[in-house]
Chain A
């Protein structure tokens, strides 16, 4: 199965998001580079609203991700609670 990836700016807002992603996706590999972080994951990667909210202590709209998103790969499925990236092959 191929990797999907999500790249985020490295800043105060994404610190908790990255932490939540690694918590929810034990198979994900985080690659920090100057000013950004690229997260690779085999097959699929899920960002969960509740995990982020637990870490930041406030409600979070998953669409806030757009502010700090740099790039991604894979098919996307987004609901109020989860954003999932995946490949079908």
Chain B
């Protein structure tokens, strides 16, 4: 970078101190509790907000300078990628389905993170964390915007990207990431910081961004690679904030430990459940694979998360209990998720397919203990049936977990042949769960989770049809009505990749791009 660095007048430490302290004031005609109404009800005790320190010591002036530099780099590449028909340089058109999943499932969460950090930045009484939350809030809206800008280029050519915001609030599988974030943002400010700042940003974000961004790079998607890296460059700061907030709470008062531990246990599980979508993307949706989900989990959770929890042990924090089950699940997660999307390929805004022979061999190699035994035969059966003209589409709706909202697709820890079901009675109703951990989360806060907007329940209650639909009319087609409500175009956005408009167009355009015809 060609940047002239002027001689500094203040050291980094002095500058940080001047730019983050003494900016607030003691209210005189309102009580502090009225100014910060959410600061105490979660039970977290803070005695001295000035003990808060951002280890990067980033101040607003430096923030703007470096963010502007990132934006200039990003938009230069987005423009070049679009001007150069970059979309035709991806490995094959199946790759674009990962982009569809990202735009509909992840980008709206960036926007919610922006809102969440703006809210928390307002509600935390200390000036240091308020500055850090402000920066993160601005980062997150930047991520939402740059993702929408980068991916809008694909919307000019491919199906399923035309109404991502509308879909995010309605589509059955998108309720999984949406409800995750809604859950976090409706918690108190300290729980939000543990949920998103620590559990998601620190412990799990590497599993989302590093494989996704490396995957984009491997598959020739310079646009996604660039926004990914640009977003990720903010992520290191977010992770630092997440870790800082945990240390800060634990150092402030010993009574905070059990509250923080419960949140870590809850959000490690909630976050990992959401990452099911990433597991499936890595193992099944990237035409050129980077690493398996299992390998990514081992590097970024077991190794790195292990080091983190070992370090936090001095505060009395222990590894979340759910990790034992997640470790068992890593052999199965992606296969079970992809099978579910293959089943429901008529109701998804992206295409599904069976892996080809080479890809199945890769999966066997990466999952020697599970793939051939449990998953390959089923995929081969579906592939052979599809070749005979019997592509299988499941038309009955699945039962959903009340907490994570994922269809009951997971198996018992330790027995991959048996679906895991749990249930609980609360007041007059029975509730269903995918696991002991989701059940436990529900039982601790039932009044929150009985309000879940579960897509399957909503469809059965008649709330997911376009206005004016008469479900009692002769020949009523519920799937068609639900897709219309989702703004999905039947036959274009959904169904198998084989024979899709995306497949045909990509082949035709790439042919034009590489020949003189």
CB contact under 8 A between A61 and B5, given known A67-B233, A71-B232, A79-B13: yes
Q: Please determine whether B236 and A2 come into contact, CB atoms closer than 8 angstroms.
A: no
Residues on the B chain within 8 Å of A64, using CB: 1, 3, 66
When chains A and B are docked, how far (Å) is the Cα of A43 from the Cα of B12? 25
Interface segment out of the listed B55-63, B91-99, B107-115: B55-63
What is the chain A residue whose CB lies nearest that of B7?
A: A59
Q: Mark B58-99, 1 if CB is under 8 A from A, else 0.
A: 100010001001100100000000000000000000000000
Q: Mark A59-81, 1 if CB is under 8 A from B, else 0.
A: 11101101111111111111110
Residues on the A chain within 8 Å of B308, using CB: 73
Q: Is B318 an interface residue (CB 8 A)?
A: no
Q: Is B443 an interface residue (CB 8 A)?
A: no
Interface segment out of the listed B299-307, B412-420, B498-506: B299-307
Q: Please determine whether B307 and A67 come into contact, CB atoms closer than 8 angstroms.
A: no
Residues on the B chain within 8 Å of A35, using CB: 213-214, 217, 225, 229
Q: Mark B432-468, 1 if CB is under 8 A from A, else 0.
A: 0000000000000000000000000000000000000
When chains A and B are docked, how far (Å) is the Cα of A64 from the Cα of B3? 10
Q: Is B386 an interface residue (CB 8 A)?
A: no
* Interchain Cβ contacts within 8 Å, total number: 107
Q: How far is the CB of B308 from chain A (nearest CB, A)?
A: 7
When chains A and B are docked, how far (Å) is the Cα of A33 from the Cα of B66? 25
Interface centre among B233, B308, B314 (most CB of A within 10 A): B233
When chains A and B are docked, how far (Å) is the Cα of A60 from the Cα of B1? 10
Per the 8 Å Cβ criterion, residues 41-89 of A in contact with B are: 58-61, 63-64, 66-80, 87-89
When chains A and B are docked, how far (Å) is the Cα of A73 from the Cα of B307? 9
Residues on the A chain within 8 Å of B11, using CB: 79-80
Residues on the A chain within 8 Å of B303, using CB: 3
When chains A and B are docked, how far (Å) is the Cα of A66 from the Cα of B56? 10
Per the 8 Å Cβ criterion, residues 222-253 of B in contact with A are: 225, 229, 232-233, 235-237, 239-240, 243
Q: Is A36 an interface residue (CB 8 A)?
A: yes
Q: Is B206 an interface residue (CB 8 A)?
A: yes
Q: Please determine whether B243 and A75 come into contact, CB atoms closer than 8 angstroms.
A: yes
What is the chain B residue whose CB lies nearest that of A79?
A: B12
When chains A and B are docked, how far (Å) is the Cα of A13 from the Cα of B73? 12
When chains A and B are docked, how far (Å) is the Cα of A1 from the Cα of B206? 21
Number of interface residues of B (CB under 8 A): 44
Task: Name B217's contact: one of A2, A34, A79 (CB within 8 Å).
Answer: A34
Q: Is B8 an interface residue (CB 8 A)?
A: yes
When chains A and B are docked, how far (Å) is the Cα of A9 from the Cα of B209? 13
Q: Please determine whether B214 and A33 come into contact, CB atoms closer than 8 angstroms.
A: yes
Residues on the A chain within 8 Å of B233, using CB: 9, 66-70
Q: Please determine whether A75 and B13 come into contact, CB atoms closer than 8 angstroms.
A: no
What is the chain B residue whose CB lies nearest that of A80?
A: B12
Q: How far is the CB of B515 from chain A (nearest CB, A)?
A: 28
Q: How far is the CB of B298 from chain A (nearest CB, A)?
A: 13
Q: Is B313 an interface residue (CB 8 A)?
A: yes
Q: Mark A14-45, 1 if CB is under 8 A from B, else 0.
A: 00000000000000000001111000000000
Residues on the B chain within 8 Å of A33, using CB: 214, 290
Residues on the A chain within 8 Å of B237, using CB: 66
Task: Name B236's contact: one of A13, A58, A71 (CB within 8 Å).
Answer: A71
Task: Name B55's contact: one of A9, A60, A69, A77 (CB within 8 Å).
Answer: A77
Residues on the A chain within 8 Å of B375, using CB: none
Q: How far is the CB of B143 from chain A (nearest CB, A)?
A: 14
When chains A and B are docked, how far (Å) is the Cα of A72 from the Cα of B313? 20
Q: Please determine whether B206 and A71 come into contact, CB atoms closer than 8 angstroms.
A: yes
Q: Please determine whether A89 and B239 come into contact, CB atoms closer than 8 angstroms.
A: no
When chains A and B are docked, how far (Å) is the Cα of A61 from the Cα of B213? 27
Residues on the A chain within 8 Å of B232, using CB: 69-71
Q: Is B310 an interface residue (CB 8 A)?
A: yes
When chains A and B are docked, how far (Å) is the Cα of A69 from the Cα of B236? 7
Residues on the A chain within 8 Å of B314, using CB: 88-89
Binding site for A on B (CB under 8 A): 1, 3, 5, 8, 11-13, 55-58, 62, 66, 69-70, 73, 205-206, 209-210, 213-214, 217-218, 225, 229, 232-233, 235-237, 239-240, 243, 290, 303-304, 306-308, 310-311, 313-314
- Sample (14) of A-B pairs whose CB atoms are under 8 Å apart: A4-B307, A9-B233, A33-B290, A36-B217, A66-B233, A67-B69, A70-B209, A70-B213, A70-B235, A71-B209, A75-B243, A75-B311, A88-B311, A88-B314
